[in-house]
Structure 1
Amino acid sequence: MSSVVGSAILPVITTIISIIRTTVFYLSFAVWTIFWSLLMILFIHPFPFKFRHPIFVKTWAIVAINLCRLICGVRWEVKGRENIPDKPCVVICNHQSTWETFFLQTLLTPQTQVIKQELLKIPFYGWAFSKIKPIAINRKDVRQSLHQIRDQGKAALAHGVWVLIFPEGTRIAPGEPGKFSRGAAGLAKAAGVGILPIAHNAGSYWPNKGWLKKSGTIQVEIGPVIETEQLTVAEANNAARNWITDNIRQIN
């Protein structure tokens, strides 16, 4: 009887602990984000653009993911770092949660990324984010967005800045990736650079639906650069999606 009662109580205790840890994390994260965003807004202007990301954004992201690690037990393991080229290129990653948007800021710098315009309206975070000139697109205007990604992305790459794109456009539950937009592949082809594919399973520990965090180790796989010179935009896009799809399956 006692073992039955214990097995029934254990999930309840686990859920309560998870609620407490997640609540503490979000409170800590909110305080850190507001504090650091104010510092960025006040002191970022004298810094040249290429130094803004490594000094301000990367620092903020390092603290954010480590808060989650220390409080919620969300760790990570990265394989394939040797595949990261010396010269910045277009980075394509599957999108499952908020975690990878933080982590990738710590992996590649200086960096800009394609985001939806609405993010810049978030108090403190959005105001600070605007200072590093992200490629903020209106997702309702697909044609204009593609032109914006190509033009602003080429300018960033020409100045030695990595360009991060989540081609699914929105968060997808763990499993196979969703439909890939060709904007990232089109940018890589137009700029004459390769594509660095990255796969992960962050959604298993930082779920998109629901706010509770689950302790465990996120697996991040960095693939070899996909050279686009001899490929069409469609072929480059398919090559990136196929690599990410295969590696998500292996991770799962």
Structure 2
Amino acid sequence: MSTVQAFRTVLFYFLLASSAFVWCIISVFVAPFLSFRARYRFVIQNWCRCAVWLAKVLVGINYEVKGLENIPEQPCVILAKHQSTWETFFLSALFEPLSQVLKRELLYVPFFGWAMAMLKPIAIDRSNPKAALKQLAKQGHERLGQGAWVLIFPEGTRIPPGQIGKFSRGGAALAVNANLPVLPIAHNAGHFWPKHGWSKTPGTIQVVIGPLMHAQGEGPRAIAELNDRAFEWVSQAQREIGSLSANSVPCEATEVV
């Protein structure tokens, strides 16, 4: 990394952290008086747009999106590839209101956690997988019924470029039980925003939004088939954008959902 890029990266993190701190404090006092949709726009969507913009301007991480026409009017379950933090910012800005699965411990962080708690996340205890899956099914169904998108990273954790993790069936099960489709999303953000370290590489992230996928029937078999179909589509899309090798073998997911 050049000296200039290192300086830009440090400045990026400083502004990102500073803006998050200030915005969370403001949100704690303002958000309770807003409706859920307005609260989401105020607390999350605007700040995430700022984060994506900072990444573009300061460290040169731009993006291109294909498949916007595949986004339905009615919210559904989003099954997205997970490589970095960037896609969390981007997807939270693109879909609103959006509820996502996160670690319960994050809600205990002063100001940040308090602000997040007002946005109806699905905060699970990852040490108890069975309870987490039941909670995802119950609260995910409630969020969908309230008109919110539900974002799930079915690999469970960030997987480096060139690899893909096995998909947990939690997201597919939620979609089948709610009689809604899943929206698969692939991208190569990890090439420019790595999982480990603080370095950032300038470039253009390719985001591909796939076609809606509906379950063929009901029950466990329909869930498994839908989950496999979403996995195959994401895998193929990752190969097409150069983020997965042809002979890559799925690695085991390390988280529950």
Query: Match of 2:179?
Result: 192
In structure 1, how many angstroms separate the alpha carbons of the residues matched to 2:12 and 2:23? Answer: 16
In structure 2, how many angstroms separate the alpha carbons of the residues matched to 1:125 and 1:102? Answer: 15
In structure 2, how many angstroms separate the alpha carbons of the residues matched to 1:175 and 1:124? Answer: 36
Q: 1:228 offset after TM fit, Å?
A: 1.6
In structure 2, how many angstroms separate the alpha carbons of the residues matched to 1:207 and 1:125? Answer: 23
**Match of residue 116, structure 2, among 97, 109, 129:** 129
Q: 1:175 offset after TM fit, Å?
A: 2.0
Q: 1:229 offset after TM fit, Å?
A: 4.5
Q: Deviations over 1:201-239 (max 9, x none)?
A: 000000011111110000000000001253611111111
SS of residue matched to 2:15: helix
**Match of residue 76, structure 2, among 85, 89, 99:** 89
SS of residue matched to 1:178: coil
- Between the aligned residues of both structures, percent identity stands at 46
SS of residue matched to 2:2: helix
**Match of residue 58, structure 2, among 63, 71, 74:** 71
Q: 1:131 offset after TM fit, Å?
A: 1.4
Q: 1:119 offset after TM fit, Å?
A: 2.4
Query: Match of 2:212?
Result: 225
AA aligned opposite 1:234: A
In structure 2, how many angstroms separate the alpha carbons of the residues matched to 1:123 and 1:173? Answer: 30
SS of residue matched to 1:196: strand
AA aligned opposite 1:174: P
Q: 1:125 offset after TM fit, Å?
A: 2.3
Query: Number of residue pairs matched?
Result: 239
Q: 1:16 offset after TM fit, Å?
A: 1.6
Q: Deviations over 1:25-70 (max 9, x none)?
A: 0001011101111111010001121221123210010001101110
Contact 1:73-1:215 at 8 Å conserved across structures: yes
In structure 2, how many angstroms separate the alpha carbons of the residues matched to 1:108 and 1:60? Answer: 13
Contact 2:216-2:226 at 8 Å conserved across structures: no
Contact 1:94-1:200 at 8 Å conserved across structures: yes
Contact 2:61-2:192 at 8 Å conserved across structures: yes
Contact 1:189-1:229 at 8 Å conserved across structures: no
**Match of residue 3, structure 2, among 16, 19, 29:** 16
**Match of residue 126, structure 2, among 119, 135, 139:** 139
The structure with the largest alpha-carbon Rg is 1
In structure 2, how many angstroms separate the alpha carbons of the residues matched to 1:97 and 1:129? Answer: 20
Query: Within the alignment, does 1:157 sit opposite 2:135 as a pair?
Result: no
In structure 1, how many angstroms separate the alpha carbons of the residues matched to 2:187 and 2:109? Answer: 27
Contact 1:171-1:208 at 8 Å conserved across structures: yes
Contact 1:153-1:187 at 8 Å conserved across structures: yes
**Match of residue 238, structure 2, among 221, 224, 248:** 248
**Stretches of structure 1 lacking an aligned partner (at least 5 in a row):** 1-13
Q: Deviations over 1:150-194 (max 9, x none)?
A: 100111111111000011111100123201111100100111100
Query: Match of 1:7?
Result: none
Query: Match of 2:164?
Result: 177
In structure 2, how many angstroms separate the alpha carbons of the residues matched to 1:121 and 1:179? Answer: 30
AA aligned opposite 1:62: R
Query: Match of 1:238?
Result: 228
Query: Within the alignment, does 1:41 sit opposite 2:32 as a pair?
Result: no
SS of residue matched to 1:203: helix
Q: 1:148 offset after TM fit, Å?
A: 0.5
Which has a greater percent of helix? 1
AA aligned opposite 1:59: N
**Stretches of structure 2 lacking an aligned partner (at least 5 in a row):** 243-257
Query: Match of 1:8?
Result: none
Contact 2:156-2:168 at 8 Å conserved across structures: yes
In structure 1, how many angstroms separate the alpha carbons of the residues matched to 2:87 and 2:106? Answer: 16
Query: Match of 2:249?
Result: none
